[in-house]
Amino acid sequence: MGKIKIVAFKLGEEEYGLDIHFVQSIEKIQHMTRVPNAPEYVEGVINLRGNVTPVIDLSRRLDLKQTAHSENTRVIITKYEELELGFMVDQVNDVMDVSTDSIEPASSNDMSAAFFEGIAKSEGRLIILLNPAELMLAPSS
């Protein structure tokens, strides 16, 4: 029985998770520069320790209901291969271990199903696990 470590966070009322291997840091929301002609889910770019980092509003990317930014809004800085990207989320809950036995595969005929790796059942919570590679690399529909 293996375990993976995830960063659990909220988008609206649902809880999501990313494998910690893809997470570089968790940042408070900061000034963003808008990018002309970018897809609607691209919030803008930030200057993070001297690097220009694009930030995606994860709620928009997943076609979820939008919520207003608050003091709990965070940007999860992720890296896949050489691509660094920020995912804006409503709130980061915690870092936790999840048993690989508790993860059920995502089942959907929806095009966005590629964004989801599965659903983890842990400590009485259902956490939707995201596939960062697909979120970062897949073209918008």
The tens digit of pLDDT for each residue in 62-81 reads 888 888 889 999 999 999 88
d(CA 7, CA 83): 19
In angstroms, the CA 110 to CA 99 distance is 26
pLDDT at 78: 95
Residue 111 has pLDDT above 60, yes or no: no
Structural domain 3-137, CATH architecture: Beta Barrel (2.40)
What residue has token string 């909220």?
A: 10
| Mean pLDDT of the chain, nearest integer | 89
More confident residue, 111 or 106: 106
Q: What is the DSSP string of 32-78?
A: -B--TT--TTEEEEEEETTEEEEEEEHHHHTTPPP----TT-EEEEE
Q: Residues of the chain with pLDDT > 70: what percent?
A: 92
Supply the pTM of this predicted model.
Answer: 0.90
Q: Could you tell me which of 63, 42, 64 has the C-alpha nearest to residue 136?
A: 42
Rounded Cα distance between 28 and 134, Å, is 24
Q: What is the pLDDT of residue 139?
A: 62
> So where are the chain's domains?
3-137
In this structure, how many other beta carbons lie within 10 angstroms of the beta carbon of residue 12? 13
Residue 122: is its pLDDT beyond 90?
no
Contact 58, 89 (CB under 8 A): yes
